[in-house]
Structure 1
């Protein structure tokens, strides 16, 4: 299911939430920086919708959001030309005026997706090589240099591709400790690995988050 992060304070967001859900999207709605960062780091998102009304939305939000290889669409005040210009100057991919038309949002997402698609061939098993000495994975002859922990996580998931591996199993087999209730180490390592995939023009979603279960590797 396509996932969208909605960072919003307006009461009108409830209507947008229900409209997007009706169109088949899974909407993660937050209203603060901490929750937004957690979602950005742990989910594969179709888009990030930012409302300038959220406190510290300006450059702070957009600079943080640039870390994610996800289209950033600002929800701007319909009567504020300065707000819309400011959003684009700060790095937003696009903007929509309130109230948001869901059909227009879908069309803009499709356009942004075509623009940002990673231009690499489909990766097959024959195009993946592991260098256990240098902790490097070669994908379609592109080197992915990882830390030792990131490398072991990537290889463990790869060897079990198509199977959902629980966080508890990864924590125990790769990090060699029990999974604590508030332990974020595993999510952080996965997030860093995905960021390196994107930086190397490789598909971020080779490692998929399976909500409420764990992670899986899939071509």
Structure 2
């Protein structure tokens, strides 16, 4: 297996109109070695993102001038976001995740829990970047054996089921392009994609698992949120 290159994510932007909580988070995070900047609403935060290097955003939802939801809609960056809020319904969580938030933490929370969530994001990003790095290093000599439903990738052989093999080959032949779920469902699984049909997702998940078991990056098959899947373009 490959070793993780753990990220130095030290710059945190706290966005909350509660000045007491701002102060507590700033002192607590700085005690752990983080560099903390503050904003009291979404507009201030967006301006800071234009001119400052930020690794993680801690974002409240309810704020004056521009709240957290509107900020998530307007932002152009891809900085990881941990939403913090006293609102904690299922719909609240769904809303922020659909807008690109990475985690949701209900108020009140402990300093320890926040640090655990930040470290979890660091590990996830390290995993993605290391898989991407490994993918770039592969020669990507890909050979398909249609009789045994196996694929040889840079001298590593992966055995698939017939459906997994067809999915992998279909995506590979269109590498660099996003293939919609309904197209994959129709062309490979030979049926229309239903609203609650998860067969395609299950086959993709199994394909990725078999790649990982062969010490190949699961990120060879990328999920493009709201659009479909793509094969990693070299």
TM-score of the pair, normalised by structure 1: 0.53
1:1-219 → structure 2 map (5 Å cutoff): 15=60, 24-25=78-79, 97-100=112-115, 105=118, 109=122, 113=126, 117=130, 122-125=137-140, 127-219=141-233
TM-fit CA distance, 1:197: 1.3
Deviation track 1:150-186 (CA, whole Å, cap 9, x = no partner) reads 0000000000111111111111110001111111100
Is the 1:150–1:190 contact (alpha carbons within 8 Å) kept by the matching residues of 2? yes
Gaps of 5+ in 2: 1-20, 22-57, 62-67
How big is the shift at 1:199?
1.6
CA RMSD of aligned residues (A): 4.5
Segments of 5+ residues of structure 1 without an aligned counterpart are 1-11, 40-47, 54-75, 79-96
Q: Secondary structure at the match of 2:60?
A: helix
Distance between the aligned counterparts of 1:195 and 1:165, measured in 2? 20
- TM-score between both structures, scaled by the size of structure 2: 0.50
8 Å Cα contact 2:144-2:150 kept in structure 1: yes
Number of residue-to-residue matches in the alignment: 154
Distance 1:215 1:31, change over 3 A: farther
Q: Which stretch shifts more, 154-163 or 193-202?
A: 193-202
Deviation string 1:68-114 (CA, Å, 9 cap, x unpaired) is: xxxxxxxx955xxxxxxxxxxxxxxxxxx144499xx3798269827
C-alpha deviation, 1:120, in angstroms: 6.9
Q: Go from structure 1 to structure 2 and tell me whether the alpha carbon gap of 1:140 and 1:180 turns closer, same or farther (over 3 Å shift).
A: same
Offset at residue 203 of structure 1 (A)? 1.2
Distance in 2 of aligned mates of 1:148 and 1:111:
31
The 3-state SS of whatever aligns with 1:155 is helix
**C-alpha distance in 2, partners of 1:168/1:132?**
24
Residue 137 of structure 1 aligns to a residue in which SS? strand
